[in-house]
Structure 1
Amino acid sequence: MTRVVLLGGGYVTLHAYATLARRAGRRLRRGDLEIVVISADTAHRFHGFTGELLAGMIGRDRVATPLAEAMPLAHIIEGRAVHIDAARRSVSYRRPDDADVETVVYDHLVVGTGAREPVAEVPGLAEHGYALRGPDEIAELADHLAGVPASPVVVAGGGIAGVELAAAIADRGHPVTLVHSGDRLVGEWSDQPRLAARAAQELERLGVRVVTGVRLTEVTATAARFSDGSSLATATVVATTGQRPVRIPGLDPWRDERGRLRTQPTLAVRYGVWAAGDGARVAHPVTGEPVPANALWAMKGGDHIGRAIARRLRGRPAGRFAYRGLGRAASFGFGRGVSELYGVPFTGTVAWILRLGFFLRFMPSRSRAAGVVADLTRFAFTPRRRVATSASQPAPGLTTAPA
């Protein structure tokens, strides 16, 4: 029997499983192939509709698919990998609330553990702030926002994720201050100035106060403090300040200076070990530069790894990763968005529909995708009144007074 172990419950794992099960399903069903998934979270969290969830447009159950439902032919282990022995081809893991370490051997290992926000780098952020990449953290933030209507919110980080998050929270009626250490927002769109300018306009429309050249330096239960000495009274601080790969001991010789696993053109780290997604350094097949850390590249990386392992099982070479990219998109409220498709910019309703169609296509559950459409349809025809807008209740500014 051949055993394939998948680490993590994210996009890489789901897409590697789906492709491998489709191409080697006969072997899987008759027991010649076993797929084992080790994940600290028992559900896959679809981050594409984070903005819609936080804005109250869709229900929280739409973005969480149980791993057992998404991967019915896999053996799911709820646990956290603690060590990889590449020489012996084994993974050690610990189940929740269990001090004992268990070990499973593998023929192929797929590392899709992704990355997390570096919350430990800002004092108090882990204790008093919110991040988005841990188990159920998005739903916890949504519940918190619902319990403190119209209260001020600080979003740290001005990339695509940060501006989309700030817009969604502001659209729900919260005064939002977005702080960004750089001098311009959405650096991912430095080659698309029209889209970057439109994103800034949408934030202004929603009343989001933008402060650039300032870093978040401390978070308390009642305030956020910044690198220029100012502070802001708030009970809600959300971090979108980049990401750090989840490092599992045992593969350190194959990591780059940022902690990402260096992959070959096949996405193999070494023979029998594969990686993709936010925790891997994947070279673009044309430019050779590292590909962006976003969901689409993780999905396509997982697809390729699934095909590569299926080919290896048939005694064929893995093949090179050839995906070249599609584009990016962001939403700024119902029917409003910006997107880029093969370098062509779109704004407004067209951009929003393109984004919606893309995310619905890649949701792991057809029933949940249908639920998203139902929720958005209901939202479109439900009258609502903003609790607080930029006109009625401006977002509070930063202050140097003690917080």
Structure 2
Amino acid sequence: MTSQPHHIVVVGGGFAGLWATRALDDPSVRITLIDRRNHHLFQPLLYQVATAGLSAPDIAAPLRHILDAQHNVEVRLAEVTDLHPQQREVELGDGTRVRYDTLLLAAGATHAYFGNDHWAPFAPGLKTLDDAVRLRRKMLLAFERAEMETDPAKRDAWLNFAIVGAGPTGVELAGTLAEIARHTLKDEFRHIDPRKARVRLIEAGPRVLPSFPQDLTDKARAQLEKLGVEVVTGTPVSDINAEGYRLGEHFIAAKTVVWAAGVAASPLARALGVPLDRAGRVLVQPDLSVPGHPEIFVGGDLASVQQDGKPVPGVAPAAKQMGKHIARAIKARLAGKPTTPFRYQDFGNLATIGRMAAIVHLGKLKFSGPLAWWFWLAAHVYFLIGFRNRFVVLVNWAMAYISYQRAARIIFGDAHDERKPGGDTR
């Protein structure tokens, strides 16, 4: 009698889950990949969809298409709502359960408002394609509302934009939004001057891009200010509502506030019943398995990993490396061999600020400006091609980016109401 293949359930089709799945192309194992969305997202370029530089299909691909040639994989479009480690089962939204021999939990992260979840309706974040499309709609509608507004104070509120959080996402959004206002839209309206839009980047800490060296963050701030972004550091936002936000003792009327200040791990981590860190991530073993459950692995943004006294960053390269490591650990276990500790290889850090403006940190090598921007572009070409054959699309986007034109400036849904596309009224 032929034994059944070892069943691996992978929760999450992000970088960690997908890279582990692809590395386990072996007929001796059977994989069920479960995700509540049908696509894998190249998240580093998500802000480009939000700012109309790219269309959604340019940075995403259906999971079934990516894995169609890997015959040991079944893709299920479903949401995992609970975990049952003792029974080795995951529970789906419809109540059905899927049994596993080995589980990889890579469900990612969501927005964290630091105890102020009531801000969420007024300050959306950027984690998914849905978020990006809604944010693009919100920002483009702000200029349309300003064009129709006759009250100067209300018009100014529509032209006030605030990005809360000066990490890579916040910096990229602020820089690109300033370019849109000052270049892309400058001749398209008759009653407003989009160049007078106020784009403010707010960081509670002392500097922007705190994961970079001080000298590079100083250059990044100078590049942002050159683009027209007002950078505010050392002052946290104390309140956000439908009319604007409070910065210290001052209230600023603004109809568009974007949250890029924090992330929290998927609530699924709590279902494991194991110690978590302050962000809700699982404090994993050195091989990325769960304490007390060697059959469960955690990867990507859901894993809390310390290396040389510092946390492994929640970036795409780290998630990919975790996925590959977990695949090797599973193979070792099945072969009766010991697993090895995960070791993150940091190949560098880079962030784009705007047209011909970026910073790059590669070990002892640090540079900024146009050369850094071209390096950033080349790196994303390389990684996007590794994900899908997107060379032509990315070249077209790069040319449009250089010329300031953004062809994806389409507002979906009814522009005369505030409802989001698809009937979502939140």
Q: Same fold (TM over 0.5)?
A: yes
Residues 7-27 of structure 1, C-alpha deviation per residue, up to 9 Å, x if partnerless? 122111111112222xx2xx1
Question: Residues 83 and 90 of structure 2 are in contact (CA less than 8 Å); yes or no, is this contact kept in structure 1?
Answer: yes
User: Alignment partner of 1:298: what SS?
Assistant: helix
User: Measured at CA, do residues 105 and 254 of structure 1 come closer, stay the same or move farther in structure 2, by a change above 3 Å?
Assistant: farther
Residues 187-214 of structure 1, C-alpha deviation per residue, up to 9 Å, x if partnerless? 212xx22211111011101111122232
Aligned CA RMSD, in angstroms, stands at 2.2
Give the TM-score taking structure 2 as reference length.
0.80
Tell whether 2:305 aligns with 1:282.
Answer: yes
**Residue 63 of structure 2 corresponds to which residue in structure 1?**
67
Give the Cα–Cα distance (whole angstroms) in 1 for the partners of residues 404 and 127 of structure 2. 31
Residues 140-164 of structure 1, C-alpha deviation per residue, up to 9 Å, x if partnerless? 2123323333832111112232222
Residues 362-389 of structure 1, C-alpha deviation per residue, up to 9 Å, x if partnerless? 33632335412222234435779xxxxx
Tell whether 2:231 aligns with 1:210.
Answer: yes
Please report how far the alpha carbon of residue 232 of structure 1 lies from its aligned counterpart in structure 2 after TM superposition: 1.7
Please report how far the alpha carbon of residue 69 of structure 1 lies from its aligned counterpart in structure 2 after TM superposition: 1.9
Give the TM-score taking structure 1 as reference length.
0.84
User: Alignment partner of 1:253: what SS?
Assistant: coil
User: Alignment partner of 1:316: what SS?
Assistant: coil
Aligned runs of 1:157-196 on 2, under 5 Å?
157-173=165-181, 174-189=197-212, 192-196=213-217
Which consecutive unaligned segments of at least 5 residues does structure 1 have?
Answer: 95-99, 385-403
**Residue 126 of structure 1 corresponds to which residue in structure 2?**
120
User: Alignment partner of 1:278: what SS?
Assistant: helix
Output the amino acid matched with 1:141: L
* Correspondence for 1:229 among 249, 257, 260: 249
Please report how far the alpha carbon of residue 102 of structure 1 lies from its aligned counterpart in structure 2 after TM superposition: 1.3
Question: Residues 19 and 324 of structure 2 are in contact (CA less than 8 Å); yes or no, is this contact kept in structure 1?
Answer: yes
Output the amino acid matched with 1:117: H
Output the amino acid matched with 2:163: V
Question: Residues 120 and 126 of structure 1 are in contact (CA less than 8 Å); yes or no, is this contact kept in structure 2?
Answer: no
Aligned residues: 366
| Range with greater deviation from structure 2 (213-222 or 260-269) | 213-222
**Residue 335 of structure 2 corresponds to which residue in structure 1?**
314
Question: Residues 281 and 303 of structure 2 are in contact (CA less than 8 Å); yes or no, is this contact kept in structure 1?
Answer: yes
Tell whether 2:387 aligns with 1:365.
Answer: yes
Flag as ranges the 4+ runs of structure 1 deviating above 6 A.
Answer: none
User: Measured at CA, do residues 361 and 317 of structure 1 come closer, stay the same or move farther in structure 2, by a change above 3 Å?
Assistant: farther
Question: Residues 14 and 71 of structure 1 are in contact (CA less than 8 Å); yes or no, is this contact kept in structure 2?
Answer: no
User: Alignment partner of 1:91: what SS?
Assistant: strand
Which consecutive unaligned segments of at least 5 residues does structure 2 have?
Answer: 147-158, 182-196, 407-426
Aligned runs of 1:4-403 on 2, under 5 Å?
4-21=8-25, 24=26, 27=27, 32-72=28-68, 73=70, 74-94=73-93, 100-119=94-113, 121-122=115-116, 124-149=118-143, 151-173=159-181, 174-189=197-212, 192-226=213-247, 228-248=248-268, 249-269=270-290, 270-284=293-307, 287-363=308-384, 365-380=387-402
Give the Cα–Cα distance (whole angstroms) in 1 for the partners of residues 209 and 242 of structure 2. 29
Give the Cα–Cα distance (whole angstroms) in 1 for the partners of residues 223 and 127 of structure 2. 25
Question: Residues 41 and 135 of structure 1 are in contact (CA less than 8 Å); yes or no, is this contact kept in structure 2?
Answer: no
Please report how far the alpha carbon of residue 257 of structure 1 lies from its aligned counterpart in structure 2 after TM superposition: 4.0
| Overall identity of the aligned pairs, in % | 28
User: Measured at CA, do residues 71 and 41 of structure 1 come closer, stay the same or move farther in structure 2, by a change above 3 Å?
Assistant: same
Give the Cα–Cα distance (whole angstroms) in 2 for the partners of residues 327 and 383 of structure 1. 30
Output the amino acid matched with 2:256: T
Question: Residues 47 and 132 of structure 2 are in contact (CA less than 8 Å); yes or no, is this contact kept in structure 1?
Answer: no
Give the Cα–Cα distance (whole angstroms) in 2 for the partners of residues 383 and 6 of structure 1. 40
Give the Cα–Cα distance (whole angstroms) in 1 for the partners of residues 363 and 87 of structure 2. 43
Give the Cα–Cα distance (whole angstroms) in 2 for the partners of residues 160 and 379 of structure 1. 18
